[in-house]
């Protein structure tokens, strides 16, 4: 009963806040949306302390069970996520006894901005780079159905002075910096991420690229201001392609490095 009273109070507070913001009309639409996303994230965490979360395996969509069986995989195996902006695709890989296998490529319904990194809060730009997602970044009570925070800004972003908050993969089909994959797809992706963490994976790597990182595609951007940055991202992309295992990613003095043991000025890209 206490949990339901807390939940009711939080829901009422959110409704009042939402009504005030929308009625006043004193903010730009994207600012109102960002504020509501922030409120949803914080309230989701509070609710999660008092209301039990659905079991990610028992409540996964039936089609996910069939998809897993067809690939000889199971919920709870370690997960790796890759996102490709230009193609609007999100890949989910699971680790099996013989390495990582691609389970499925999910269409992204909406991302925002253009090719290139996110630079500052409010630029409506979806991030690119290397991120880690821990259990505390999951939000099963998101206003976008289900969501997980990708962990922007990471150590690399912070070194470059980049700012932004509440950048997520979530359901629905709206975005002011997030990756919206639709409710049906996020049911599957979230279930797999949550199941992997329940089984012991401490964090899930999420690697976000501007496009499929072939040498030919990158060469077309030779005069782009982000060419060197994308070439650095390609190193991480190619490390996975070469080994079949997600590389350990570090930030070292303004650039990403991969599978490096350490060194002065280096920090491992970590989850929150």
Residue of 14 and 126 predicted with greater confidence: 126
Identify the active-site residue in 104, 141, 144, 170. Answer: 170
- Residue entry with tokens 């009042």: 16
| Gap between the terminal Cα atoms of the chain | 32
Average pLDDT over residues 185-195: 96
Domains of the chain: residue spans and CATH: 2-50 (no CATH), 62-268 (2.40.440.10)
Active site residue 178: yes
**Pairing state between β 179-180 and 99-107:** unpaired
HSE at residue 17, side-chain half, CA atoms within 13 A, is 15
What span, in angstroms and rounded, lies between the C-alpha atoms of 99 and 28? 47
- Residue entry with tokens 């991302």: 111
Active site residue 207: no
Identify the active-site residue in 109, 144, 145, 178. Answer: 178
Quick one: pLDDT band at residue 58, thresholds 50, 70, 90?
A: low
For 241-261, write each residue's pLDDT tens digit: 999 999 999 999 999 999 987
What span, in angstroms and rounded, lies between the C-alpha atoms of 80 and 196? 10
For 75-131, write each residue's pLDDT tens digit: 999 999 999 999 999 999 999 999 999 999 999 999 999 999 999 999 999 999 999
Sort residue 194 into left (φ over 0), alpha (ψ -120 to 50) or beta. alpha
For 145-168, write each residue's pLDDT tens digit: 999 999 999 999 999 999 999 999
Count the neighbouring beta carbons within 10 Å of the beta carbon of residue 205.
23
Q: What is the pTM of this model?
A: 0.83
Percentage of the chain modeled with pLDDT above 70: 76
């Amino acid at each position: 009963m206490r949990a339901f009273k807390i939940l009711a109070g939080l829901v009422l507070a959110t409704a009042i806040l939402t009504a005030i913001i929308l009625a006043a009309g004193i903010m730009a639409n994207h600012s109102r949306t960002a504020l509501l996303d922030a409120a949803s994230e914080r309230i989701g965490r509070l609710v999660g302390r008092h209301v039990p979360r659905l079991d990610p395996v028992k409540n996964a969509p039936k089609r996910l069970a069939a998809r897993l069986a067809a690939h000889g995989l199971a919920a709870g195996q370690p997960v790796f996520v890759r996102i490709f902006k230009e193609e609007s695709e999100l890949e989910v890989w699971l680790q099996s006894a013989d390495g990582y296998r691609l389970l499925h490529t999910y269409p992204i319904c909406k991302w925002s901005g253009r090719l290139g990194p996110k630079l500052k809060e409010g630029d409506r730009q979806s991030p690119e780079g290397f991120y880690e997602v821990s259990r505390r970044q999951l939000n099963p009570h998101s206003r976008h159905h289900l969501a997980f925070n990708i962990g922007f800004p990471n150590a690399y972003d912070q070194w470059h002075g980049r700012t932004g908050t509440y950048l997520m993969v979530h359901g629905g089909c709206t975005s002011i910096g997030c990756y919206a994959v639709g409710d049906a797809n996020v049911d599957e992706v979230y279930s797999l991420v949550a199941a992997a963490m329940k089984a012991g994976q401490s964090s899930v790597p999420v690697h976000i690229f501007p496009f499929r990182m072939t040498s030919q595609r990158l060469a077309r951007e030779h005069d782009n201001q982000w060419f060197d940055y994308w070439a650095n991202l390609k190193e991480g992309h190619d490390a996975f392609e070469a080994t079949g295992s997600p590389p350990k990613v570090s930030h070292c003095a303004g650039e990403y490095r991969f599978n490096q043991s350490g060194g002065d000025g280096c920090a491992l890209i970590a989850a929150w």
